[in-house]
Structure formats: structure tokens, C-alpha cells
Amino acid sequence: MKDEKVQERWIQHYSSRHQILLVGEGNFSFSASLATVFGSAHNMVATSLDSRELLEEKHPSARANLQLLEQLGCTILHQVDATAMMRDPRLDSKLFDRIVFNFPHAGFIFSESDPFQIELHSNVVKGFLINAYEMLRESGQVHITHKTAHPFSKWNIEDLAEDVGLDLAEKVVFSLYQYPGYINKRGHGSRSDETFPVGECSTFKDSTTFSSLAYGQANGQAEVNNRTILHGLKTCLEGAKGTWADELLYILWAYKTTSRVATDETPFNLVYGMEALIPIEILANSPKLMAYKEDNGGGNFEALRENLDLIEEQRDYVAMRMIAYHRRIVGYYNSRVRNKTMEEGDLVFRRSTVTNALKDDGKLRANWEEPYCIQKLVGPNTCILLTLSGETLGKT
Ligand SMILES: C[S@@+](CC[C@H](N)C(=O)[O-])C[C@H]1O[C@@H](n2cnc3c(N)ncnc32)[C@H](O)[C@@H]1O
């Protein structure tokens, strides 16, 4: 209520009315820049991976920014890992309109063009996107600001977002001057507090595909639909494959008039606000058919109009059911994951999207490359690989 009376203020893509989560902050100057324009930071949660002590040691200027943010009512959290934040009890069940990670970076281990270094970065970004997806409000956006020239373009941010079900809504050119007071930091190593030239750089604005009720291609829903339709065709044709075009209309009709598990509604009802009369109801004299009276056309018409008035509410309800369904699936999937710790000498596959070496093979490309042997573990879920002929990958 209090916020409603205060005038809305904007800075670039951010409004004082948005609930904003900022992760991987350096000296918190980006958060401070937004809060200064808003005149308040009650709508912001600003976080860093480092503890407060380490952060202030790395970035002496962080102290003043943190003080300002605290005065303006910002929630400040430290030791927030962007790749595991959805399970952080301090952020539990909070949903946001904007989740922002500026210049994500896994640290300087190898050169930036080394595939292994790119894999480390991609893991951070992907982990962040998976978590952010779960913490977004409907029509919220995840923003990653990132350099776009080589070798940073090889992180393939768009593909990483698509892999987790996010859609690139827009990619906009980023400039430091858009955020007065913001000083981007390297954040790692002995030169943590130094800034770096951002060069060619963009903010990737990804949104969820909850809107996919209207646009199936957005989240793989189209592929699910196609699979269902194909299944229907195969069942009908029983080997007479040449006649598939004749059957397609019937299959589509059956598809559109059958309720889906995720929505508990038929696609037909969600579009037209009423259920279709299917042929069997005519043959079997269904109650719906019996109750219909030709001379009661006016009453029917009124009832249909009422249905149309309620359809928006019904669609909202279905959107919520889809989110709940998605969460149930994620929970089910996660509960089946068996944690496996890797050891040196283990044989492993590598996701082909990491190097993109097989991208020319298109949709039919294999998801995994080689078996490799783990030469050295350098961190949790991170290792140096050997090919089976004994060649070390990357720089190692
Ligand atoms: C290049 S710095 C950018 C810092 C800051 N965002 C800025 O724009 O100045 C990369 C930052 O990513 C953070 N980071 C790396 N891995 C992270 C993770 N898993 N969760 C949260 N932050 C992470 C580091 O702590 C570091 O501050």
C-alpha cells in the first residue's frame, strides 16, 4: 500500500515497483545505483557470493555502498551461491520480477578462450539460470549482462537459457553510463578490486515461458504437442502411412478436445471458453445434447457470453496449475537424481553443448561426446579431462 502512493521511478529496465534480486554483486555499486534512483531499496535483495568480511577486504568501496543500501531498506545477503539460491532458506519462497547477474564469472583459471574455462563459466551461468527460473514471478525476467565479443560469445548464453526453458525476450546493448556510480569489478584473484573494460557488451533479458499457453514453440510445448499428434497418427494408421494427411484433421480434433494433464482443461475450452460437442455425444444423446433447446437460443447465447466473461480467470487459473505441475515434475525429477561423486580415473562423457563441436549435426546431434578420463578434480563438479589416447584437454 505504502509503495503504491510513492511515484514509480525507472532506471533502464528496472522499476521501483519491481521486486529485484541482484546476485554476484562486486562492490554493490550496481545495487546502490538503482537504489539511489528509486530513492528506496525496500523492493531489492542484493547479494554477494563472498562473506561480508571477505567482500570488504576485496572491495573497500563496498562498505559505503552497503551502508547506503541498508539506509534505503535493501535486504542484503552474503554467501549466496547463484547456482543453489533456490534452496537458500533466506530466499525461501520469495519470487521476483527481475533477477540480475552482471558479468558472471567463474574465476581466472585458464585463458578466457580455453574450452575448459568456458565450461566453468557456462556451469555458473546455467546453475544461475536454473535457480532463477524457479524464483521468477509470472512475466518476470532474468537479466545477464555479458561481453559479446569473442571468446565471451562462446558461452552461448542464449542456448544455456533455452536449455532451462527460458526465452530470450530481448538483447540490449549495455553501457556503464546507464548506471551512474556503477563500477564493475573483476571480483576474483589478486586484482579483484580492479575494474575491467566492458567493451562490446549486452544485457540478455530472458523470460519464462509460462505464456506458452499462447505460444507453444516457446518452451518445447510444441514438441510435446507434435509428439502427441504423431502418436495419435501412428495409432490410427496401423501401417497405412500414406494416408496420414486424411487422418490428421481427426487427430487434431481429438487432441484439442481432450483435457491435458498439466492444465486439466481442453485446449478448445481455453481458446473458445466452452467445450466442443464431439460426434459421439450426438450419437449417444448426451445430457448436454438433451438439455439444448432450439427455441432457447437466447438463453444459450447468454450462457456462452457468461463463459467468455470468465475465460480470463480460467486461463489465469490454468497458468497457475501449469506452474504447480512444472514444480511437481521438477521435484519428481530431482528426487530420482542419484548423487554420484566423481573420482580421478573415472570415465565420463561430456555434454556436447559445452564445446558446440557437434553443432553442425543439427537436431540429430549426439548429446554427449566421447568417453573421457578424469585426470584431476579441481573443484566440486569440475575436473580436467584426458582423452582415451592420453591427450589432455584444453590447456592442461
Ligand atoms: C566479474 S565479477 C562481477 C561482479 C559484479 N557483478 C560486477 O558487475 O561488478 C564476477 C562475480 O561473480 C561472482 N560469482 C561467481 N560465481 C558465483 C556464484 N556461484 N554465485 C554468486 N556469485 C558468483 C563472483 O563473486 C564475482 O563477484
User: For 325, how many CA atoms within 13 A lie in the half-sphere containing its CB?
Assistant: 12
Same domain, 187 and 333: no
Place of cell 507434435: 226
Q: Is residue 392 in a domain? A: no
Amino acid letter for position 377: L
Residue-by-residue DSSP string for 291-356? H--GGGHHHHHHHHHHHHHHHHHHHHHHHHHHHHHHHHHHHHHHHTPPP----TT-EEEEEHHHH-
**Shared domain check, 118 and 101:** yes
Nearest CA to ligand 1 atom 7: 184
194/221 same-domain check: no
Q: How far, in Å, is the centroid of ligand 1 from the Cα of 78?
A: 12
* 103 CA to centre of own chain: 17
Please indicate, yes or no, if residue 391 is contained in any of the structural domains: no
> Does residue 377 lie within any of the structural domains?
yes
Where among 223, 256, 289 does a domain terminate? 256
Can you tell me which residue has the cell 547456482?
Answer: 83
Q: What's the 190 CA to ligand 1 centre distance in angstroms?
A: 15
- Note whether residue 395 is domain-resident: no
DSSP label of 172: E
Asked whether residue 317 is assigned to any structural domain, the reply reads yes
Does 315 lie in the same domain as 364?
Answer: no
Q: Looking at the domain assignment, is residue 342 inside a domain?
A: no
**CA 179 – ligand 1 centroid, Å:** 18
Whose CA is closest to atom 14 on ligand 1?
24
151 and 221 fall within a common domain? no
- According to DSSP, the β-strands at 347-351 and 96-102 are unpaired
**Do 97 and 133 reside in the same domain of the chain?**
yes
Q: Does 306 map to a domain?
A: yes
In this prediction, residue 279 carries a pLDDT of 74
Verify that 267 and 283 share a domain, yes or no: yes
pTM for this one?
Answer: 0.59
Regarding whether 15 and 121 lie in a shared domain, the answer is yes
Residue in 14, 82, 99, 87 with CA at minimum distance from that of residue 48 = 82
Q: How far is the CA of 29 from the centre of ligand 1 (A)?
A: 13
Q: Ligand 1 test: best mutation among 188, 194, 202, most atoms within 8 Å of CB?
A: 188
Query: Same domain for 252 and 235?
Result: yes
Please list every protein residue whose CB sits less than 6 Å from any atom of ligand 1.
23-26, 30, 49-50, 81-83, 102-106, 124, 184-187
In a domain, 330, yes or no: yes
Q: Which domain holds residue 357?
A: 347-386
My answer on whether 282 and 366 are in the same domain is no
Number of domains in the chain: 4
pLDDT of residue 99: 97
Q: Both 315 and 294 in a single domain?
A: yes
Residues 72 and 153 in one domain: yes
CATH of the domain at 172: 3.40.50.150
**pLDDT means over runs of 10, the chain (396 residues):** 70 96 98 97 98 97 98 97 92 90 95 93 94 89 96 94 86 95 96 96 82 39 59 62 69 78 81 80 78 65 80 85 77 67 84 62 65 81 83 64
Cα 88 to ligand 1 centre (Å)? 17
